[in-house]
A and B are shown apart, each in its own frame.
Chain A
């Protein structure tokens, strides 16, 4: 934040066009309140996660008088019951983290590499089929289909992808959506000279794709994959339906909030679970915040 302020001050001279008016002051105040409300909530959750249930009953909003380390307790004790052929099996938190990781990283990669390669083919190969694919993506994007989830479940079961993490990787490996268009524009912007020289040197199509083209779009690739990763990590509704025997952390935390059966259903414990799930994402956000925020237009308005 300090950095932002310093930069702002040095910039002030060249942005003479905007001055502080009553309106902008109001905007500033409201924006600050908004950000503050976000912080208050997260901070409240954090301090609550350090309270014991006894203390929370009498001290709901204050700082904890006695810090309690709920984290190791939740991490080791929280389980998600799944039913298998040999009866109910409890899946622990470490396994949920592993499932989340496999689910999120695989789906993110599949959902990024597929539009990337397809867009490359459409951008650089002048077949009629390429044009057809571009039109197809635009049409599908404009076509809102409601309520095909039951049918999707049936198809996933029929082709044997149901209840497998790798099954969801395959299901998410589609080229549809705006990221196809993002990659298409990225590849179209690469001049032909880049590949001509390599072709003269006898480079094959695979070499050109993997050695020249993909490295050129690696930044876009990385940001799209990161956005996907965060989305899949946070998602619990798809695992709830498609992965009955591989619960993810998001599903675990959701289950923690809705079942009253286990002793972990107290509010401090639930806050602890939420924080556990939040930490990896916050770390990613802090590390890659510049890349993510700077490239947000990828996700919105280019289309």
Chain B
């Protein structure tokens, strides 16, 4: 802030008042940011290099010891090796199934086809219902009602879809795609609404209709939005819990990294458990930052060009 003051040595009273007002209102957000962003993250980084000596009640600097330990856990602990697989498999499945579906159906809303207003409202519904409520209902539905329905229709006895280890993962992936479908649909249709109408008129003059219009106009025009959403989901890859905590609490057999980090932090009995978690978080951050940048650059380079 000092440079501002220096530059305006001969300030008028009004300008002084403006500056005072500015500083008075800016103070809180800046302090809040310093404490809950800067301090939190610096503390998180230093924590990764420390160890708690509980007996002596003090912290020791241990260098890269936590990272070594974290790395060993990631590569050797069978639970965590599986978590890496699950994390990426879940990302690939939800992303590559969910995104095309959302884009396809958002076209319906965007084109104002029959009952699009009704669908707009209904697609919004899943995003306002709490994960706890939705998961609870879904869980008991597939565990209780689905076997009952199958029994009534086909006379076959089946186990609940989540109880059955063979269908558990698929069911959870299904749930995640199902629940996020509505809102992604609406977001893409909103992006499509931003397409200038005269562009579509021009394409029509050239004889583009239906699928051609979708492929040559709509898709390239919403491509920047697709990039944004993709980058956001890549950035969240190690944070995504896949709603596992809502399904199983601490006891999930299927684990993602987001789930594991949250449960470990939540269950930590003392601050002595924190350094290793911080080290892992830092490792993932170091992976995620370049990963998102690479994905963004690749998508920008190889995407359809707007003309």
Interface class of chain B by DSSP? helix
Q: A residues within 8 A CB of B137?
A: 41-42, 44-45, 271, 274
Question: Shortest Cβ distance from A303 into chain B, in angstroms?
Answer: 7
A263 is an interface residue with CB less than 8 A from chain B: no
Give B112 Cβ to nearest chain A Cβ, in Å: 6
Contacting residues, chain A, for B274 (C-beta < 8 A): 150-151, 154
Is residue A159 within 8 Å, beta carbon to beta carbon, of the partner chain? yes
Q: Which residues of B contact A (CB under 8 A)?
A: 1, 3-4, 17-19, 21-22, 25-26, 28-29, 32-33, 35-37, 39-41, 43-44, 47, 104-105, 107-108, 111-126, 128-134, 136-141, 144-145, 148-149, 152, 178, 181-183, 186-187, 190-191, 193-194, 200, 204, 210-211, 225, 228, 235-236, 238-239, 245-246, 248-249, 261-262, 265-266, 268, 271, 273-274, 277-278, 280-282, 284-285, 288-289, 292
Question: Is A147 on the interface with B (CB-CB < 8 A)?
Answer: yes
Kindly state whether residue A153 has any CB partner on chain B within 8 Å.
yes
Q: Are B26 and A274 in contact (CB under 8 A)?
A: no
Are the C-beta atoms of A38 and B262 separated by less than 8 Å?
no
Asked if A28 and B114 sit within 8 Å, CB to CB, the answer is yes
Given A5-B115, A146-B261, CB of A292 within 8 Å of CB of B124? yes
Chain A residues within an 8 Å CB radius of B245: 237
A246 to B162 alpha-carbon distance, docked (Å): 32
Which residue of the partner chain, among A147, A171, A293, contacts B44 with CB atoms under 8 Å?
A147
The minimal Cβ–Cβ distance linking B15 to chain A, given in whole angstroms, is: 10
Residue of B nearest to A146 (CB): B284
Q: Looking across the interface, which residue of chain B has its beta carbon closest to that of A3?
A: B117
Q: Which residues of B contact A151 (CB under 8 A)?
A: 40-41, 43-44, 47, 274, 278
Would you list the 7 A-B pairs with minimal beta carbon distance, nearest first? A147-B281, A234-B130, A151-B44, A144-B235, A150-B274, A4-B117, A146-B284
A-B contact pairs, 13 of them (CB 8 A): A27-B104, A27-B105, A45-B141, A60-B144, A114-B28, A114-B29, A118-B29, A127-B22, A155-B43, A174-B33, A289-B124, A293-B186, A301-B225
Q: Is the CB of A176 within 8 A of B18?
A: no
Which B residues touch A206, using CB under 8 A?
21
Is the pair A143, B289 in contact by a Cβ cutoff of 8 Å? Answer: yes
Smallest Cβ distance from A103 to chain B, in angstroms? 13
Q: How many pairs of A and B residues are in contact by the CB < 8 Å rule?
A: 272
Partner of A152, one of B40, B104, B107, B144: B40
**How many angstroms from the CA of A128 to the CA of B128 in the assembled complex?**
39
- CB of A44 within 8 A of CB of B282, answer no
Q: How far is the CB of B167 from chain A (nearest CB, A)?
A: 17
A283 to chain B, nearest CB (A): 11
- Residues in B with CB closer than 8 Å to A285 are 124-125, 128
Instruction: Look across to chain A and name the residue whose beta carbon is closest to the beta carbon of B120.
Output: A293
A250 touches B22 (CB 8 A): no
| A176-B37, A205-B18 as given contacts; A24 in contact with B29, CB under 8 Å | no
A296 touches B124 (CB 8 A): yes
> Distance (Å) between the CB of A210 and the closest chain B CB?
11
Q: A41-B141, A155-B40, A236-B130 are in contact. List 10 more A-B contacts (CB 8 A).
A: A5-B118, A7-B117, A24-B113, A27-B113, A128-B4, A144-B239, A146-B285, A267-B144, A270-B136, A277-B133
A240 within 8 A of B: yes
Q: Is the CB of B130 within 8 A of A250?
A: yes
Please tell me if the beta carbons of A140 and B278 are within 8 angstroms of each other in the complex: no
Tell me whether A86 is interfacial, beta carbon within 8 Å.
no
In the complex, A173 Cα to B28 Cα: how many Å? 9
CB distance from B56 to the nearest CB of A (A): 19
- With the chains together, A176 CA to B34 CA distance in Å? 12
Whether the pair B211, A274 counts as a contact (CB closer than 8 A) is: no
Note all chain A residues with C-beta closer than 8 A to B152: 61
Residues of A151-165 at the interface with B, using a CB-CB cut-off of 8 Å, are 151-155, 159
Q: Which residue of A lies closest to B237 (CB)?
A: A144
Query: Are B26 and A148 in contact, CB atoms less than 8 angstroms apart?
Result: no
Determine if A89 is an interface residue (Cβ-Cβ < 8 Å): no
Cβ contacts under 8 Å, A23 to chain B? 210-211
Identify which of A14-22, A65-73, A74-82, A181-189 touches chain B: A14-22
**Partner among A173, A257, A293 whose Cβ is within 8 Å of the Cβ of B32:** A173
Give Cα distance in the complex from A140 to B152, angstroms.
Answer: 54
Name A40-74 residues within 8 Å CB distance of B: 41-42, 44-45, 48, 60-61
Q: Do A117 and B29 contact each other (CB < 8 Å), given the known contacts A11-B112, A144-B235?
A: yes
Cross-chain contact of A144 among B17, B140, B144, B285 (Cβ < 8 A): B285
Contacts of B194 in A (CB 8 A): 301
Contact A41 B246, beta carbon cutoff 8 Å = no
Counting CB contacts under 8 A, is A179 at the interface?
A: no
Instruction: Give B95 Cβ to nearest chain A Cβ, in Å.
Output: 16
A33 to chain B minimum Cβ distance, whole angstroms, is: 11
Q: How far is the CB of B195 from chain A (nearest CB, A)?
A: 12
The answer for the CA separation of A237 and B111 in the assembled complex, in Å, is: 39
Beta-carbon contact of A21 and B128 below 8 Å:
no
Output the nearest chain A residue to B285 by Cβ-Cβ distance. A146
A38 and B265 within 8 A (CB): no
Using CB atoms, name the residue of chain A closest to B214: A23
Docked CA distance A142–B228 (Å): 10
The reply to whether A233 and B145 contact each other, CB–CB distance below 8 Å, is no
